[in-house]
């Protein structure tokens, strides 16, 4: 019956209903319980569920534990000591919630449609609230939302016809604005900034809005920073290693008490008010932001040599081109500097194209309907933007001047531009004794290393040995690319880990690798896609082709 009784209460019951010193008169016990129940019922001391009313005078002990007060929509235990570094924003508006989701989606490159489309089997554009909540949790966004914020989000996208369903397509369109704008083909001249400015300037969660802080706190913080700057400059203190030793996760943050301890150890003594003002300015949910603090408190101008900045060099390079006058008036040094800057600019464009696997010619020749080799300057700028080539406005202007068409002053020779890009990465060799010139293309592989796919020396050695094994059967022999393309339905160039194992198994290549070698290869060619790593099979096939052509293959003996 699971009725909790202490030992003394159980002994009292035994003494009351004991019979012949070894038997219990359970019939009398049950009759007494029924009589008590009838008495309570006749005197209206029980409710319809036959439970004792709440204000019953004889009820001394309540065995039901009280619920904890809800914190941020969840019944959890509150912190005993307040975290002074964290300044959570209370009662967020719906705009703050949407901006927070957009920032998480842009940071992790999440495709919202993939998480919500599976629940909409009838393609009505709506899902239930439970399905909407499950999708947010699968995206990794649900952990940033409280129950109150989820209710506000649901109320924003609720279906007016069926109030139990959520319009997920409307939610997707609003969140995807952080990447691009829908129906952009109707306004081709519109400039899209990805991410928007309000996302770039959005402070980290838990940080205090310093512009709205009290004037006396801001003045006290500036005085404290000035004192710290003088102390660091006079004693030549290098405080970054002290903070770095406590930052095990390399997040750029340490706890507030650790920050105070480091300041005291370096002889920087602050009052409680001064320390609190610094915490209000540099504190957030992760702790004390020591990287931003050192940028303001330790600029180290006394230790930096007076060098010419890159912007000044580029300005000097652009000056002769923008100067009015004859080309004969330019000196030889200016021509050499301009030529070097042009080569660097072309190399910058080619690097972005190779890293992102983009063919610039495909984006530019769409605007050349008559195949004349010339497009307008506006179309040239638009094509570079569509190709996701990041350039400064003055750099694009300089390219337009260099490749200006002699027939039409408003057009650009885009074919010469693409040919110049190819020449940047071509090595010219002249054979001795004759005038023949052979062009040997130099292959440049994109560096896609990230924190999750970093390999140490042992792992790189193991990966190179495993690739030499697989190079015995390149794509020309094993046709791995066809299997990979079957798994890559979105044609994004990446597949999952289990799909890689299935592809190797289909081509009978899985026995060539051990489990450790397989994990190292997946880690080497991993790419951050959404919330996890995926395998870049295009780069993998390219490496196998290079190893096979150069003869770097592990032979069988």
- pLDDT over 70 at 315, yes or no: no
Closest by CA to 395, choosing from 345, 338, 348, is 345
Angle between helices 129-139 and 147-156 (to 10 degrees): 120
* C-beta of residue 277 within 8 angstroms of C-beta of residue 221: yes
For residues 1 and 281, the model is more confident at: 281
The percent of residues above 70 in pLDDT, for the chain, comes to 80
Q: What is the pLDDT of residue 286?
A: 84
* Residue-level pLDDT at 62: 52
Q: What is the pLDDT of residues 205-221, one digit of tens each?
A: 777 777 778 889 889 99
- Mean pLDDT is lowest, of 78-92, 195-209, 531-545, for 78-92
What pLDDT sits at residue 168? 93
Q: Which residues contact 188 (CB under 8 A, 6 or more apart)?
A: 382
The CA distances from residue 100 to 281, 406, 532, in Å, are: 21, 51, 20
> What are the residue ranges of CATH 1.10.238.10 in the chain?
94-201, 336-423
- The per-residue pLDDT for 127 is 93
pLDDT at 167 over 90: yes
Question: Angle at Cα 498 formed by Cα 494 and Cα 499, nearest 5°?
Answer: 50
Confidence label for 554 from pLDDT (cuts 50, 70 and 90): low
Is CATH 1.10.238.10 what the domain over 94-201 is classified as, yes or no?
Answer: yes
Question: Taking 90 as the threshold, does the pLDDT of residue 345 lie above it?
Answer: no
Report yes or no: 94 and 153 within 8 Å, Cβ to Cβ: yes
Q: How confident is the model at residue 128 (pLDDT cuts 50, 70, 90)?
A: very high
Flag the least confident range among 302-306, 311-315, 522-526.
302-306
Beta carbons of 171 and 112 less than 8 angstroms apart: yes
- Lowest mean pLDDT: which of 81-85, 130-134, 173-177, 436-440? 436-440
Cα gap 304→58, rounded to integer Å:
81
- Reported as a single tens digit per residue, the pLDDT across 38-66 is 888 888 778 777 777 776 665 545 555 55
Residue 445, CA distances (Å) to 261, 429, 550 in order: 46, 22, 15
pLDDT, residue 131, reads 92
Dihedral, CA of residue 170, residue 171, residue 173 and residue 179, to nearest 10:
170
Above 70 in pLDDT, residue 82? no
What's the whole-number mean pLDDT along residues 174-187?
86
Distance separating alpha carbons of residues 495 and 529, to the nearest angstrom: 10
Q: Is 324's pLDDT higher than 90? A: no
What integer is the mean pLDDT of 163-190?
87
Residue 416: pLDDT over 50: yes
How many H-runs (helices) and E-runs (strands) does the chain carry? 25, 14
List the one residue out of 505, 500, 481, 506 whose CA is nearest residue 491: 481
Nearest CA to 446 out of 355, 528, 359, 537 is that of: 355
Q: What is the mean pLDDT of residues 87-108?
A: 84
Q: Which region among 56-60, 70-74, 480-484 has the lowest average model confidence (pLDDT)? A: 70-74
Q: Which two tokens stand for residue 196?
A: 């928007």
Contact yes or no for 412/332 (Cβ under 8 A): no
Residue 337 has pLDDT above 70, yes or no: no
Q: What share of the chain is helix, strand, coil (3-state, %, to 5)?
A: 55, 10, 40
| Top-confidence residue, 370 or 305 | 370
DSSP codes, 184-199: GGG-TT----SS-HHH
Q: Global pTM?
A: 0.41
Q: Which of 193-202, 264-273, 417-426 has the highest mean pLDDT?
A: 264-273
Q: What is the reported pLDDT for 171?
A: 92
Residue-wise pLDDT for 530-552, tens only, equals 777 888 888 888 888 888 887 76
Residue 132: the pLDDT is: 92
Contact 496, 438 (CB under 8 A): no
Q: Which CATH class is domain 451-556?
A: mainly alpha
| Mean pLDDT, rounded, of the chain | 78
| Confidence at 440, pLDDT banded by 50, 70, 90 | very low
User: Is the alpha carbon torsion for 135, 137, 143, 146 positive or negative?
Assistant: positive
Contacts of residue 226, Cβ cutoff 8 Å, sequence gap at least 6: none
Which CATH number does 215-302 carry?
1.10.238
Confidence (pLDDT) at 427 = 43
Position 493 scores a pLDDT of 85
Least confident of 144-153, 423-432, 520-529: 423-432
Give percent above pLDDT 90 in the chain. Answer: 6
Residue 151 has pLDDT above 50, yes or no: yes
**How does 256-286 read in b/e, with b if 16+ C-beta sit within 10 Å?**
bebbbebbeebebebeeebbbbbbbbbbbeb
Model confidence at 83, in pLDDT bands (50, 70, 90)? low
**pLDDT value at position 453?**
72
Q: What is the pLDDT of residue 59?
A: 52
Cis peptide before 460 (omega within 30 of 0): no
pLDDT of residue 232: 86
- The CATH class given to the 336-423 domain equals mainly alpha
Q: What is the pLDDT of residue 14?
A: 85
pLDDT band at residue 317 using 50, 70 and 90 as cut-offs:
very low
222-231, 318-327, 410-419: range with lowest mean pLDDT:
318-327
């Amino acid at each position: 019956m699971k009725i909790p009784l202490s030992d003394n209460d159980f002994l009292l019951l035994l003494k009351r209903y004991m019979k012949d010193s070894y038997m219990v008169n359970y019939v009398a016990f049950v009759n007494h319980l029924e009589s008590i129940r009838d008495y309570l019922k006749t005197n209206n001391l029980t409710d319809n569920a036959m439970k004792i009313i709440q204000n019953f005078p004889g009820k001394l002990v309540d065995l039901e534990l009280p619920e904890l007060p809800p914190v941020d929509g969840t019944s959890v235990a509150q912190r005993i000591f307040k975290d002074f570094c964290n300044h959570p924003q209370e009662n967020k508006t719906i705009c703050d919630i949407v901006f927070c989701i957009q920032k998480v989606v842009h940071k992790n490159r999440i495709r919202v449609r993939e998480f919500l489309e599976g629940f909409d089997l009838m393609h009505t554009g709506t899902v239930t609230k439970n399905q909407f909540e499950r999708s947010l949790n699968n995206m990794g966004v649900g952990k940033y939302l409280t129950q109150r914020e989820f209710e506000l989000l649901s109320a924003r996208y609720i279906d007016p016809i069926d109030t139990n369903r959520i319009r997920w397509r409307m939610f997707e369109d609003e969140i995807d604005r952080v990447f691009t704008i829908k129906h952009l083909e109707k306004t081709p001249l519109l400039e899209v900034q990805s991410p928007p400015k309000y996302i770039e300037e959005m402070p980290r969660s838990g940080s205090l809005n310093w512009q709205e802080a009290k004037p006396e706190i801001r003045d006290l913080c500036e005085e404290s920073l000035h004192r710290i700057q003088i102390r660091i400059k006079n004693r030549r203190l290098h405080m970054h290693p002290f903070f770095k030793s406590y930052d095990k996760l390399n997040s750029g943050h340490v706890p507030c008490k650790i920050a105070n301890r480091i300041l005291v150890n370096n002889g920087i003594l602050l009052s409680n008010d001064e320390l609190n003002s610094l915490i209000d300015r540099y504190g957030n949910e992760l702790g004390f932001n020591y990287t931003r603090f050192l940028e303001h408190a330790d600029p180290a101008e006394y230790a930096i040599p007076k060098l010419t900045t890159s912007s000044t060099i580029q300005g000097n390079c652009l000056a002769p081109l923008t100067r009015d006058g004859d080309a004969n008036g330019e000196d030889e040094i200016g021509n050499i500097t301009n030529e070097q800057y042009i080569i660097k600019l072309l190399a910058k464009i080619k690097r972005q194209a190779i890293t992102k696997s983009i063919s610039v010619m495909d984006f530019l020749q769409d605007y050349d309907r008559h195949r004349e080799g010339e497009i307008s300057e506006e179309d040239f700028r638009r094509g570079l933007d569509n190709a996701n080539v990041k350039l400064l406005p003055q750099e694009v202007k300089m390219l337009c001047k260099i490749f200006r068409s002699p027939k039409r002053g408003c057009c650009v020779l885009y074919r010469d531009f693409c040919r110049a890009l190819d020449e940047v990465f071509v090595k010219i060799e002249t054979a001795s004794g004759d005038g023949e010139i052979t062009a040997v293309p130099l292959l440049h592989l994109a560096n896609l290393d990230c924190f999750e796919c970093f390999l140490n020396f042992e792992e790189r050695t193991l990966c190179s040995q495993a690739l030499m094994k697989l190079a015995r059967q390149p794509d020309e022999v094993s046709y791995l690319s066809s299997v990979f393309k079957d798994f890559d339905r979105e044609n994004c160039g990446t597949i999952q880990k289990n799909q890689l194992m299935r592809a190797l198994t289909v081509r009978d290549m899985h026995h060539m690798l051990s489990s450790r070698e397989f994990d190292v290869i997946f880690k080497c060619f991993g790419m951050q896609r959404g919330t996890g790593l995926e395998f870049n099979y295009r780069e993998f096939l390219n490496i196998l082709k290079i190893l096979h052509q150069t003869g770097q293959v592990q032979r069988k003996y």
